[in-house]
Structure 1
Amino acid sequence: MNARPPDPRPSPFATLIRITRDALTALGRELAAWKPSAERAGFAAQAVASVALAVALARAFDLSNTWWAAISGFAVMQTSFAASARRGLHRILGTVLGGLLGALAGPALGGLPWLFVPAMGAIGGVAVYRALASEFSYAWVLGGATALMVIFEAHTLPTFAATASFATLRVSEVVVGTLACVPVSGVFHAGERQYRRYRPLAAVEALAASVAQPSPESIRAARKLLAWQGAASIAILAALIYILKLPGFAQAMVTAMAVLILPAASLAGHTRRPVAERMVQRFAGCLLAGLIGVALLPLLGDHAWLSMIALSAGVWSGCHVQTGKEGASYVGRQFTIAFIMVFVQDHRWSADPLPALMRLSGILMGVVVLTAVMLAMSRLPLARESSDAL
């Protein structure tokens, strides 16, 4: 009897180990090759100024979640003013529409878990499907994330008015952060026009144009697979949150959706590896920021200036890694977001690490559940359809 030939494909565990090792190696190379440049320093300075202005404005308007305004101030920032303005418009548009959907649907779904759970999954799945390969990808991501957050809060709030108030505050925080970022970007880029003349944009565009584009069939199959993975993960997380009454775990659902938003080029092949890379890099960046941040909080206490200096240093460092070329860009971006979560809390500077730890644990929960769903769905016909379309 002939022996069965060994399976040439590595096991999921071996693949995860390799991806983790590659991410840590890339981060190590980036830190070892710490070479500031005018362009990298300019982007980091813009991000620091934008985050600082967003924090100041959110405190001035007495907004509930200052950290969300600060994250908006960072997340909208791009390497050009036009890109920052467009991203800011998409962020505000998505947040407004998602907040409206959440405010209208949340009170009706909050007390009905048999509707609440599948509705959360459906919203997340549709947002993922529409965000992939869409011109308005960022608006779909923010719309889905905002709707999930508002409906999540609605199941703990007593009235429609309270839910609408929460949605309004979330929109206000995003608007404040975005309106802090876009003017800062405009001021910085007004002073960089002379430098921008010497960037070889034509060569970059020619190179991008020469890259082969995936077929419509492969894109459609990949979008369907990722959307179903997102829907299943978010539904499971919604059920766990509802049953266990976990506070602050909205970040778990946002994570399960955000890491599935791949660039169009990644939709041409098997999507499991690029999603796993994003999950590992998101977790690594958040874990590193959490460890550093929680260690610094007791030393800084509630001293506003010391906290702002530490926040600026963290944002600067994360942006420096994000703009590097050693393969750790997503680690740097996630480090910056998590560092903002740790230091910028609700109404005041505080040494209490609990709110930040709850948000970070939510991110970990999102990664764990999404990993389990991807493994469980890898043998389903939908996953094989995605592979066959390549």
Structure 2
Amino acid sequence: MKRIGIALLGVGNVGGGVHDLLASNNVMAKRARIKIEIVAASARNLRRARKRLGPGVPVHADWREAVAADGVDAVVELIGGLDDALACAREVLGAGKPLITANKALLATHGGELLALARERGAGLYYEAAVAGCVPAIRTIRDALAGDEIESIVGILNGTCNYIMTQLAREGKGFEEALALASELGYAEADPSLDVDGWDAAHKAVILAWLAYGLPLAMDRIAVEGIRGAAVADRDCAAEFGYVIKLLAHVKDHGRRGVETQVAPALIARSHPLAAVNDNLNGLLVRTRYAGELLLVGAGAGALPTASAVVADIIAAARDGAPPALPFGGKASARHCARINLGSQAYLRVRVIDAKGVLARISQTLSAAGLSIEAIHQQESHSGAEVDIAILLHELDWAALRRTMARLAKMKQVVAPPVAMPIIIPHIKDE
């Protein structure tokens, strides 16, 4: 049986989960005939970490001491954040050792540098747990679909946001109430901004865009919008049309026009399987040219689900040595990320004072901009009351829609800024 000694940097929820999996005589490791031993660790809370790991594992306050310990063959980085994690990654890969990480922010912001260093030093960089927890998103795109052409990826990649949106849709709760419940259940951090403002999902989307299309690992070209403004009115209007709203990462190839890469609330037909991915689960829909559609669903976070992906990467490091760092022959594509919304339908909601001729004027404004209406729903109301008008639009130019929304906002009967969302997965129309 092959042995691999690891330095475990970070003994929080996931790091503790890695220890627990290994301590339970992990079946996968036995099947692979690999003995994994934690030979050193680092942690912020030394007392808690030593209690969790037991007396046989030295725990250091400084991660450098753990990395330099005798018998360390690979390093598991679960520190989080950027500064220490980046310094650690540079040191480990620079020494030619495998690095296993769940740090999506690190990869999304400094991945290009780290991948180049891994190639230069012949070191393995493993990051399955960085996207969608235990869902094998990375291996599916990088390995299983290596012989195919990926047309698009649609992902529910943040369990906190998905839980909140599920509470809005299924339980009728408002955003603040749903967020408070997510915090009580441990799904949301003390500061939930990274999740609810869309940046956690954006980090993962950048990694997926790199894997699928060789785009540079960079955050500066991705369009990001979170769910902080999620409204009950949109939930209700979307339901009238047979849709649900999810925070979606959307990566789509438009050839020479670029690769659409964005994170935003969007509509999915309620009949589609991805719409049934609820609570804190993650889901990934990959459309390919030859294999068709693949749907991956599972726990996107949590100590043991994420730890299972980390342990699988440790086994891969022991087996493989140094896998290819890039799936595109070592060169990133010259194509760019862009918020394009080509070929997308849209949902539009306009809150107005109900008065004669308002709907007709909105319709005329949309028509004059070349925006074609598929369906309209207007709430029942009394003259003079505020009412929401919800409109489904055919495939459109989003720049034209944004200009039209600005014109609609200036109408005296419109009482709030209009809201628009892409329809990423529309209803299947009868031929």
Which TM class, normalised by the smaller chain length? under 0.3
> Which structure's CA Rg is the greater one?
2
Comparing both structures, which one devotes a greater share of its residues to strand?
2
| Larger proportion of helix | 1
Q: Considering Cα pairs closer than 8 Å and 6+ residues apart, tell me whether 1 or 2 has the greater RCO.
A: 1
